[in-house]
Amino acid sequence: MNSKVQSLKAFLSTAGRVALVEVAGTKGSTPREKGAFMLVSRAAIFGTIGGGQLEYMAIDKARQMLFSPSRDARIEVDEVCATLDVPLGPEIGQCCGGRVEVGIRLVDTALAAELVAVAETEEAHLPHVYIFGGGHVGQALASAAALLPVHAVVIETRAEALEGMPETVETRLTPMPEAMVRDAPAGTAFAILTHDHALDFLIVAEALKRDDTAYVGMIGSKTKKATFKNWFLKSADGSESEFARLISPIGGDAVKDKRPPVIAALAAAEIMTALVIHTAASNAGRQVQYDKAIAG
């Protein structure tokens, strides 16, 4: 499994001299938020501050600094920096209407270590997405999840179904995938789409028994959902309130297209929305508890 942290380390170790381009401040509508950054070398870039003319201007300025013969790589970073204050209007071919302050500085050993440490912290707190099943839809959903800020895990009972997964996606081979549900971190999103309906039912039942999930989705038809509900309530000691949290079919039914990449795209958007909402709700809950504790 190749993570973003590993990619960052590889870029820093092979790119030569590098400049950090960071959004230092924003006003109004802007492509990225404060703190968004990218790294610029003489021949490559890592990350983005939103694209468009703003990014091109920042890259040009960064490379002027990198190529300047007067610059000495041994000079301290705070002596090798620049600031761009850019209005996002028709003057630069962008119509966001806001204003962005961009800070640019050369990366030394200390700053490189700081960037890696921040990336490691962010990666450790990524929300988890557990994808049960590595079939056609599972493969497509794993590919979609690989592009998102999540820790994606594909779980399978068949070794061959895990072949060819994206390198940033974790894979787990197990004869009892339903057991993986119990050990998943709080706030995990579960997408269940195995090759076996009975196995789907076992996994979904385990997921619905937890009250800290961000999303529980099962691939299938309305008939499959109805069959699961009957089994869940009568044979699995499930409740109506637990069943109500099940999303099935995944990705909704507004788009009548059963091609795996389409299902995966719709499901990925659905899962990401659920994760964002769950995170916001959890943060709000923690803030309320903190406020109550402070108030005594």
* Biggest CA pair distance of the chain: 77
* 88-109 tens-digit pLDDT: 877 777 777 789 999 999 999 9
- Mean pLDDT computed over 151-179: 96
Q: Output the pLDDT for position 98.
A: 87
Q: Output the pLDDT for position 4.
A: 87
- Cα-Cα-Cα-Cα torsion 218, 222, 227, 231, nearest 10 degrees, comes to 50
Task: Say how many CA atoms lie within 13 Å of 242 toward its Cβ.
Answer: 18
Please report which confidence band the pLDDT of residue 288 belongs to, taking 50, 70 and 90 as the band edges.
low
Q: Could you name the CATH architecture of 126-279?
A: 3-Layer(aba) Sandwich (3.40)
- Local structure of residue 70 (DSSP, 8 states): T
What is the pairing mode between strands 170-173 and 151-156? parallel
- Are residues 20 and 104 in contact, defined by beta-carbon separation less than 8 angstroms? yes
Q: Output the pLDDT for position 253.
A: 85
Instruction: Record the pTM.
Output: 0.85
**Better-predicted residue by pLDDT, 70 or 222:** 222
Closest CA to 43 of 13, 63, 68: 63
Q: Which positions ≥6 away from 135 have C-beta within 8 Å?
A: 161, 193, 194, 195
* 249-276 tens-digit pLDDT: 999 988 989 999 999 999 999 999 999 9
**Better-predicted residue by pLDDT, 173 or 85:** 173
Helix (H/G/I), strand (E/B), else coil: 13? helix
pLDDT > 80? residue 173:
yes
* 35-86 tens-digit pLDDT: 999 999 999 999 999 988 999 999 999 999 998 654 444 333 345 789 999 8
What is the pairing mode between strands 99-106 and 18-27? antiparallel
Q: Output the pLDDT for position 296.
A: 61
Give the integer Cα–Cα distance in Å for 216 and 272: 12
Task: Say how many CA atoms lie within 13 Å of 191 toward its Cβ.
Answer: 33
Q: Output the pLDDT for position 291.
A: 59
Please report which confidence band the pLDDT of residue 178 belongs to, taking 50, 70 and 90 as the band edges.
very high
pLDDT > 80? residue 285:
no
Give the integer Cα–Cα distance in Å for 10 and 84: 28
- Are residues 193 and 200 in contact, defined by beta-carbon separation less than 8 angstroms? yes
Give the integer Cα–Cα distance in Å for 98 and 33: 12
Which H or E run includes 141? helix 136-145
Domain ranges of the chain: 16-122, 126-279
Adjacent-strand bridge partners of 83: 103
